[in-house]
Amino acid sequence: MTLLKPTAAQIDAVLTGGRPICAFLHDLDALNRHARDIAGSLPPRVELFYAVKANNDSRILGTLAPHVAGFEVASSGEILKVREAVGADARIIMGGPARTREDIELVLAQGVERLHVESLHALRLVNAVAMQAGAVLPILLRVNLAGPVPGATLTMGGAATQFGIAQPDIPEALKLLRDCPALRFEGFHFHTVSNNRDAAGHAALCAMELGLARSWATEHGLDLAVVNLGGGWGVDYGDPDWRFDVDGFARAFAPHVGEDIRLQFECGRILTAYHAAYVCEILDLKFVHGRTFALLRGGTHHFRLPSSWGHNHPFLILPRDAWPHPWPRPECRDINLTLAGELCTPKDVLARNVPVERARIGDLACFLMAGAYGWDISHHDFLCHPHPQHVYLGAYEHANPRVFSTGSTSFS
């Protein structure tokens, strides 16, 4: 799998408008190939949905649409995003906590395929809204496993979190469903971990969850049609060349796949992370109390992921020779550099004390693996700085005409 690593010359060639530079670059052709390869690695009767929360850009959705079974959304806004970008025929499933009456009404109006219900109150509310609409809504029950669950960057279940129905309460939820005539139970939803880098361990976790769903179906006399095993296929921001072993995961999980149940995964980060870069021009260099800082045109208001996860995001310093000023160009060599943004907070940092050979004012900091949980989770208008440019490279042959125009630029 490729990793988008543009050069300074390539960046200057595709960006338009004023300076200094601040932009997200997306390689749609590489994303297209990557999504095709991942979807093609899965066993039959296993469906791959894209978790829109990772990146809801309409061009990303359009690029992924030919390769994924559909889209997993967590809000009414994401439902409308998918419909606008991909169309009325796109399959949509919906999960997430804190559902409202308006959410459920939109689910019914927009033909969402299935709703993942996360509490007993939500069961009652969904049933009431569906009854009022004269509809029967297919649902899955989201399970928060009894834990602990090892091996992931984020734990969504197996711990005291706000997600899903606690495993001991599943029998009560199944009993309540008998009094919900507007709901059609189809199965269970497990989204227990996020960003698991252990492919074999993740396959074992998914097999355990599938076995648990089957045992509940037998115990309670249920027709089990669907089990959604969430996402959680990891990336490693500390090592951009590392890859989750999708083929190994598929081989390990394949013996547990039968003809009786449709299995679904809802992945986001592993699909979109690698094929975007966030590029910021260095505006200033400062040595303060023993540390060297590069101040960027940009920061966590555009790309909050490093601050959110507390890691040093991988980056390259891309040299640019032009220097428009009559005074000497400030630079630093062979130092540990902290890359900080333009916000008035010391938390606006994308990488701390990272060794670099050389950095100058006017050079570019190019943050790799910027395609997931970056722009979408950021506080864009804090201090009201200008937004970055968004540049889309490539226009593969199956481009969605709703989204793409011809003549897109490519680095290849």
Q: Known catalytic residues?
A: 344
Sign of CA dihedral 317, 2, 17, 338: negative
Give the number of C-alpha atoms closer than 13 A to the C-alpha of residue 232, restricted to the C-beta side. 30
List C-alpha distances in Å: 297 to 30, 48, 85, 126, 258: 27, 37, 30, 46, 53
CA distance 6 to 316: 10
For residue 354, how many other CB atoms are within 10 A of its CB?
16
Looking at residue 113, the DSSP 8-state letter turns out to be: S
Q: Does residue 217 sit in helix, strand or coil?
A: helix
CB 263 within 8 A of CB 229: yes
Closest listed residue to residue 64, CA positions, set 46, 85, 80, 43: 85
DSSP per-residue letters across 242-285: ----HHHHHHHHGGG--SS-EEEEEE-HHHHGGGEEEEEEEEEE
CB 268 within 8 A of CB 64: no
* H or E segment to which residue 380 belongs: none
Beta strands per DSSP E along 361-408 = 364-367, 389-393
